[in-house]
Amino acid sequence: MGAWAIAVHGGAGVDPNLPKERQEEAKRLLTRCLDIGISALRSNLPAIDVVELVVRELETDPLFNSGRGSALTENGTVEMEVSIMDGPKRRCGAVSGLTTVKNPVSLARLVMEKSPHSYLAFSGAEEFAKKQGVEMVDNEFFITEDNVGMLKLAKEANSILFDYRIPAVGTCGASAAMDSPLQMNGLPISVYAPETVGCVVVDKQGRCAAATSTGGLMNKMSGRIGDSPLIGSGTYASELCGVSCTGEGEAIIRSTLAREVSAVMEYKRLNLHEAVDYVIKNRLDEGKAGLIAVSKDGEVACGFNTTGMFRGCATEDGFMEVGVW
């Protein structure tokens, strides 16, 4: 019997001028999610059950960019995506382009357990959801007043907004997005702060699991798919570790960031902390991202090259920490 550990995140890349009230609100949500996960682990739930439970809670609360509160497409609609992975046998499930599924992470798990496939998207995923009897709601359920306002700013700036709630630093609006030095695939973007959510868990049996859920980018093209539903990029779990990533999706995809943590542990014989530090420093090129990870031995780690990352972690020995910067 080993020791359990859990970590959660609410996105990498935080506005340095983020109001204290918003920071504390995020910390309270992360703490609540940790408490839910800790209680489940103490009740001996397997890791895969715990990551689903915690991410469902994050999807239900509109604070972060997943489920209700997801970022809006250029058409003003929500298209959600998520993946989940169970380390022991590398089982996985993923979905993209969801518009009516209340808790996308649970549908991803059903893809893993109730379908012959690993990944379903758009109309096919929605049809599968209906057949599985999951709870479905109108797309308007996911749309918040804050996000409608941020989409308006994004359209006025003719920009994709990563920081989809906070206007660019030092400005009175989003027009500064056009002058941003940051780029995605060679194109200018605004201040970077996506707020995807994720959870990684190792249980007492040393089983690792991971899940990552998001609404994507504000003002994204309809049909855009990021790293979160891509196994090996946004999410990965093996017999060694579980990893959930957040940040510049295109950079995470190019680097297969989540899988890289497991790979360097296996092939370079690095421990978890060394592996996380190595991939953040050496695999992102000029991309900006962060990740959380657990190992089969009960270790927990996080890493990021952004101004901050909403995160929290806890271990069986009583350690618990929630942070932003």
Question: Any idea what the CATH number is for the domain that residue 280 is in?
Answer: 3.60.20.30
Pair type for strands 80-86 and 320-323 = unpaired
Among the residue ranges 86-95, 123-132, 162-171, the one predicted with the least confidence is 162-171
Percentage of the chain modeled with pLDDT above 90: 75
Catalytic residues: 196
Residue 159 pLDDT grade (very low, low, confident, very high; cuts 50, 70, 90): low
In one letter, which amino acid is 235?
T
- At 120 the three-state DSSP class reads strand
Range of the domain at 84: 5-141+191-315
The answer to whether residue 178 sits within a structural domain is: no
- pLDDT score of 188 more than 50: no
CA distances from 89 to 209, 268, 292, 295 (A): 11, 22, 21, 15
The answer to whether residue 158 sits within a structural domain is: no
Residue 154 has a pLDDT of: 78
Residue list, annotated binding site: 224-227, 246-249
User: What single DSSP character describes residue 71?
Assistant: P
The answer to whether residue 149 sits within a structural domain is: no
Q: Where are the alpha helices (DSSP H) in 43-144?
A: 47-60, 104-114, 122-132
- pLDDT score of 194 more than 70: no
Residue 310 pLDDT grade (very low, low, confident, very high; cuts 50, 70, 90): very high
Question: Whole-structure pTM over 0.75, yes or no?
Answer: yes
Residue 189 has a pLDDT of: 45
The answer to whether residue 72 sits within a structural domain is: yes
* Residue range 74-108, pLDDT digits in tens: 999 999 999 999 999 999 999 999 999 999 999 99
The answer to whether residue 122 sits within a structural domain is: yes
Q: Which residues contact 61 (CB under 8 A, 6 or more apart)?
A: 29, 67, 68, 69
The answer to whether residue 170 sits within a structural domain is: no
Percentage of the chain modeled with pLDDT above 70: 89
Domains identified in the chain, total number: 1
Residue list, annotated binding site for substrate: 224-227, 246-249
The answer to whether residue 161 sits within a structural domain is: no
- pLDDT score of 183 more than 70: no
- Cβ-based neighbour number of residue 195 at 10 Å: 28
The answer to whether residue 185 sits within a structural domain is: no
